[in-house]
Amino acid sequence: MKLRCVLALFLTSLAIHAADKPNIILIYSDDHGWADLGVQGSDKDIRTPNLDAMARDGVRFTRGYVSAPQCVPSRAGVLTGRYQQRFGVEDNNKGPLPLAELTIAERLKTAGYVTGQVGKWHLDLVGKKGEKAVRVSKEHMPHAQGFDEYFRGELRQFYASHDLQGKPFADAPHLVTDNRFRVIVQTEAALSFLDRRAAKPEQPFFLYLAWYAPHVPLESPEPWFSKTPTELPKERRQALAMIAAMDEGLGQLRAKLKAMGQEKNTLIFFIGDNGAPLGKAWDGSLNTPLIGQKGMLTEGGIRTPFLATWPGHLPAGTVYDKPVISFDVAATAVAAAGLPKNPLLDGVNLAPFLKGEETSSPHERLFWRWGSQAAVQEYPWKLIRLGEREQLLFDISQPDGENVKKNQFASQPEIAARLTKALKEWSENLSPPGLPTSFDAHHEGLFAEHEVIPPLPDAPKTKDAPAGSVKGWLCRNGTIGIQDGALLVTADPKAAKNAKPFLAKTGLMLNGPVTAVIKADAKVATNSSLSWRTKEQPDFLPANTIRFTLPAGSSEQTITLPVNGQAIHVRFQLGDQADGLRLRSIELRPAKGPADIADFSR
């Protein structure tokens, strides 16, 4: 009898202790632009009823940031709660995550949590991107970073500790092949993890679910794809379908938690890992109305969908406008688990700010360093450095703030000096220390294309001209130069996989509709397209694209662009057969006003 009473008291104390420690779920989507969350109200075509319900039940952060505009460093930052530049994981080529760095899972295990990982990991890659040396290191997989259970993988192959029915593998990490749509498989793995938790409700859990969507390769999963608007480009429809699959998966997870009686005892974060890529590498997602894209430290590259819910603990229906960052997940989780505040964490516990117990901003400043770019935000001011060639200061209180015409670096010298000093001081504690000094033509091209910096200077009129601008047209993913009275386009062999060359021209003022006349000599028929955006459209919208074919031989093509308003930016996608394409002239004729004529024969 005495033993039974002691056991009952022990189990009761465990239950009370567990009730003080919420379950925690961190969900990371992939290349998911700020616009693609229905509750943002940015795009009428997006449908995310379960994510919208999560926002209504909790908090929507309108200025939620990630620590990098690229997946590996962003994931290293969110899982450690630290600036990933402190331990050298600055870009996709700088992995793997050092085992000495503690993840959220490792920290929570000290508080009695069981931990699980599902989906994209990418913190175990060894070698440089584009080289055969790239491999997955089993020594750096989730089980080496504090995860008890895992189903690690992106597309069709997964390294797992358990099968989807919950049976453990004796030879874990065990390689599993599943040819179904990736989001379905990853959702099932997450649900399987929750099923195993039902047997021990007294033990809190941490789940890191990293859906590999809507990242390329794009798919057309059913039943979601057939529900998308048929008039949209295929890429946009695929992205909408993949996001809808994640949204439905979130609904299933929350329903499972409710059935387990754990809904009110679970803190959930949903965050995008970086902004959507645009251009030829477009994954169909949008960053509208933010400026820029994946690979840029402008808002479109680092500001993403960002939600949190914890029924009864975080105020429902809250729209939080002060800047927060992905590091805050770790600090909030540690505090919720009852662990002491750790000075090594760069984030803050968001709960007191969301409850109104703290009225100041969670962060005085936020910092970034990635490749040739560095930035510091002291809201509403944001300073961006592009190598040593460009120093930019913007008021980002409005979505169109990061525009070359609104650069206040010269007109606000005191603010510029203060933020420059803060950025330099922060950078001295990184590995390696200091601010970027190298020049990156690709990054500069991105900034010019999005009108964050002035158009690039004209490239030399030589056969081997480097990527740049000729008569106002700049080239991405390739090189251009004048040869024998024509603009010669050559694809860049070092460009990312599937990144085809395209031309872009900014600073236009073309009243629609616009007629494009293209004179060209092509070795073979070339699939092409023209896209445009207006002043009111920071991103290229899917509907603003006209596709056509440049036939083999010499031709003159006339294409009507149904521009509604005034086109300020045009892209000319050159397709798979750009090598050897010779453009004799490109004319853009507006309904009113002078035409923009680039005659390359002169």
Place of tokens 């994981």: 89
* Count: domains in the chain: 3
Same domain (yes/no): 241, 151: yes
Domain boundary among the residues 358, 373, 400 is at: 358
CA–CA dist 170, 453 (Å, integer): 56
122 is catalytic: yes
Q: Give the tokens for residue 91.
A: 């870009």
pLDDT band at 497 (very low <50, low <70, confident <90, very high): low
DSSP E strand stretches across 401-507: 469-470, 473-476, 478-483, 486-491, 502-505
* CATH number assigned to the domain comprising residue 426: 3.30.1120.10
pLDDT level of residue 1 (50, 70, 90 thresholds): very low
Element (H, E) at 149: strand 149-152
**Pairing mode, if any, of strands 205-214 and 23-30?**
parallel
3-state SS, 270-328, equals EEECCCCCCHHHCCCCCCCCCCCCCCCCCHHHHECCEEEECCCCCCCCEEECCCEECCH
Name the strand (E) or helix (H) holding 425: helix 413-427
Burial class (CB in 10 A: 0-12, 13-18, 19+), 10: exposed
- Tokens (6 digits) for 9: 């008291």
Q: Are residues 402 and 510 in the same domain?
A: no
Task: Pick the more confident residue, 403 or 463.
Answer: 403
Q: Strand (E) positions, 388-513? A: 390-395, 469-470, 473-476, 478-483, 486-491, 502-505, 510-511
Domain boundary among 454, 489, 504: 454
Q: How far apart are CA 466 and CA 179, in angstroms?
A: 43
Output the pLDDT for position 347: 97
In a domain, 381, yes or no: yes
| pLDDT-based confidence at residue 290 (cuts at 50, 70, 90) | very high
Looking at the fold, whether 213 and 120 belong to one and the same domain comes out as: yes
Report the CATH number that the domain containing residue 47 is assigned in CATH.
3.40.720.10
How far lies 548's CA from each of 503, 545, 558, 596, in Å? 15, 10, 10, 20
pLDDT tens digit sequence for 162-190: 999 999 999 999 999 999 999 999 999 99
Q: How confident is the model at residue 132 (pLDDT cuts 50, 70, 90)?
A: very low
What is the C-alpha to C-alpha distance for residues 63 and 366, in angstroms, rounded to an integer?
12
Classify residue 166: in a domain, yes or no: yes
- Asked whether residue 14 is assigned to any structural domain, the reply reads no
Q: Which of 5, 17, 32, 122 is catalytic?
A: 122
Question: Per-residue pLDDT tens for 393-415?
Answer: 999 999 999 999 999 999 999 99
Domain closes at, from 428, 454, 480: 454
What residues make up the domain containing 311?
Answer: 31-358
Determine whether 71 is an active site residue: yes
Structure tokens at 135: 């491999």
Q: What gap in Å lies between CA 436 and CA 581, rounded to an integer?
A: 36
Same domain, residue pair 447 and 571: no
Confirm if 482 and 600 have CB atoms less than 8 A apart.
Answer: yes
Out of 5, 17, 32, 71, pick the active-site residue: 71
49-57 vs 234-259: helix axis angle to the nearest 10? 50
Q: Could you tell me if 72 and 217 lie in one domain?
A: yes
* The pLDDT of residue 351: 97
pLDDT digits (tens, 9 = 90+) for 45-60: 999 999 999 999 999 9
CA 485 vs CA 352, 550, 558, 582: distances in Å: 66, 19, 21, 9
If asked whether residues 385 and 421 sit together in one domain, one would say: yes
What is the per-residue pLDDT for 464? 39
- Whether the pLDDT of residue 13 is over 60: the answer is no
pLDDT digits (tens, 9 = 90+) for 526-572: 888 899 988 777 778 878 899 888 888 888 889 999 998 888 899 99
Task: Give dist(CA 527, CA 515) in Å, integer.
Answer: 19
Are 57 and 198 within one domain?
Answer: yes
pLDDT, position 149? 98
Do 379 and 347 share a structural domain? no
At 299-352, the pLDDT tens digits run 999 999 999 999 999 999 999 999 999 999 999 999 999 999 999 999 999 999
C-beta of residue 138 within 8 angstroms of C-beta of residue 171: no
Output the DSSP codes for 331-368.
HHHHHHTTPPP-TT--S---HHHHTTS--S-S-S-EEE
H helical segments located in 224-273: 234-259
Least confident residue range of 131-145, 148-162, 344-358: 131-145
In which band, very low, low, confident or very high, does the pLDDT at 26 lie, cut at 50, 70 and 90?
Answer: very high
Threshold 0.85, pTM exceeds: no
The mean pLDDT value of the chain amounts to 90
Q: Are 420 and 439 in the same domain? A: yes
The answer to whether position 23 is within a domain reads no
Torsional sign, CA 569, 574, 576, 580: negative
CATH number where 500 lies = 2.60.120.260
The 10 Å Cβ neighbour count of residue 529 is 18
